[in-house]
Amino acid sequence: MKSIAYIPYHDWRKIVAEGNRTRDAHFIDSFRKSKDINQLIIVNRPITRSELFIKKKTLKTKLPEQLIFKLGKGRLYKIDEHTFLVDFISNEVFSQIFRGRKWFFDAYGNNDFVHFYTKCLSFLKTDNPPVITANVFSYKFMKTISSKKMFDAWDNFYLMPGLKSIKEELFVAYKNLAQDVSCWITNSEENKVFYKEKYNAFVSDVITNGVDRNMFSKNREIPNDLLKIKKLGNLVAGFGGKITHLFDVDIFNFITSENPNINFVVLGQVLDKTVFSEIEERANVFYLGDKHYSEYANYISNIDFGIIPYRIEENQHGGDSIKAYEYLAASLKVIGTRGNGLQNLEDYISIADSKEEFSAYLKKSVEKKTFLVDEFSWENKAKLFLDKVK
């Protein structure tokens, strides 16, 4: 395959700053390693200088040093011999501030943005490469291009409680993508059913999340803050992920109370401060903050249990937890709640239908199938993607 264009959901600056913790970041990494792709063109989401200023801490990472082409507000960077980044900084400062997330729907369809993308293709001497978008906000961009198109409709944004204010716009976006993009991929069976019923979209395949097969091994260095906890002598259970509406505080508080002989560590960003504030302080509960992905692996590889205490059948949005695969790759005993895609891994992890059952699984050993890391590797998932493109 000569070339391919990929539209991630997350900004490239954020991906570099945090590491490959997200589905789109993992696919970019795997596409860059793939021998099937000679040229990967990453189409970064449009951004404004006001966002760069407001988020200067999280978006502080510099773009690649090698600037090879520029036109107006657009810049084309060379990341390596086969990977290029299309970056566009819009002057619409106040529009983004006042419209919030709604701004992105129009920003992707901005004539200057689309024109710059076509000029980049000319500069790179490639003609209409296949385009994979992992970003529902990019539907107007996808409408303008005539090449082969694919939509990775991971996690159902329409059902996310935090996006209620743009629910109508999301419906329009998904509906347009159903009309303009014939090939959809998603990460869960429940999404596949929902998209067919809601938008009459044909989802050709479910490609679940994966894991970096070389990252989560038992010979990684133990971070100092975790080492202090391990020296207390108890087993360690860890939750590595964002604290959102999905995190079930009732379950977490129950299991930490019922299992004083287990130390519980929480790693990750706090996106819902209300949920986080309801976590009860106990001698066996430790919040260790957010970690870069490469550092995060050192923690997960040196604990005993991987836990996913998510709300059971409530406010779900067709998720497929990456952390579950990472726990399994690190050979942890894994316990999660039914729903959120975890039931698809029931051969490998213990699924709880109540807080009492969750606590019981922490106390007893349950025999599960051996997790085959290679089968669930991101490289294998990327190959399935590229086979569809071909």
Q: What is the per-residue pLDDT across 284-338, written as a single tens digit (0 to 9) for each?
A: 999 999 999 989 999 999 999 999 999 876 556 567 889 999 999 999 999 999 8
| Predicted local distance difference test score (pLDDT) of residue 381 | 94
Least confident of 10-14, 217-221, 253-257, 362-366: 217-221
Note the pLDDT of residue 315.
54
Q: Which CATH class is domain 3-211+379-389?
A: alpha beta
- Check pLDDT > 90 for residue 217: no
**Angle between helix 322-329 and 293-300 (nearest 10):** 50
**Residues near 5 by beta carbon (within 8 Å), at least 6 away in sequence:** 41, 42, 43, 129, 130, 131, 132, 147
**pLDDT at position 60, please?**
60
Q: What is the reported pTM? A: 0.92
Mean pLDDT score of the chain: 91
Q: Is 330 exposed, middle or buried (0-12, 13-18, 19+ CB in 10 A)?
A: buried
For residue 374, what pLDDT is reported?
87
pLDDT for the residue numbered 342 = 83
The reported pLDDT for the residue numbered 103 is 94
Domain ranges of the chain: 3-211+379-389, 224-363
Q: What count of other Cβ atoms lies within 10 Å of the Cβ of residue 149?
A: 20
- Rounded to the nearest angstrom, the gap between the alpha carbon of residue 138 and the centroid of all alpha carbons in its chain is 17
- Average pLDDT for 203-222: 88
pLDDT at 350 over 80: yes
Averaged pLDDT for residues 239-268:
95
Residue-level pLDDT at 317: 55
What pLDDT is stored for residue 219 in this prediction? 79
- Do the domains spanning 3-211+379-389 and 224-363 agree at the CATH topology level? yes
pLDDT at 113 over 80: yes
Q: Which two tokens stand for residue 309?
A: 């205490």
**CATH label, 224-363, candidates 3.60.150.10, 3.40.50.2000, 1.10.3720.10, 3.80.10.10:** 3.40.50.2000
Lowest-confidence pick of 4-18, 38-52, 116-130, 312-326: 312-326
Alpha helices in 283-321 (DSSP H): 293-300
Measured CA to CA, the distance from residue 382 to residue 390 in angstroms comes to: 12
Query: Distances from the Cα of 251 to the Cαs of 30, 236, 247, 279, 309, in angstroms?
Result: 36, 17, 9, 10, 6
Is the pLDDT confidence value at 191 over 70? yes
Question: What was the pLDDT predicted at 8?
Answer: 98
- As a whole number of angstroms, the distance between CA 191 and CA 154 comes to 8
Is residue 333 within a helix (H) or strand (E), and if so which, with residue range?
strand 333-337
pLDDT number for residue 365: 78
Residue whose pair of structure tokens reads 């019981």 in the numeric block: 360
At 150 the three-state DSSP class reads: strand
Mean pLDDT value of segment 141-151: 94
Alpha-carbon gap, residue 93 to 97, rounded angstroms: 7
- Whether the Cβ atoms of residue 41 and residue 6 lie closer than 8 Å to each other: yes
pLDDT exceeds 70 at position 61: no
Laid out side by side, the sheet with 285-287 consists of 285-287, 262-267, 235-240, 305-308, 333-337, 350-352
3-state secondary structure of 88: strand
Q: Number of helices (H) and strands (E) in the chain: give both, helices first.
A: 16, 16
Q: How far apart are CA 287 and CA 253, in angstroms?
A: 14
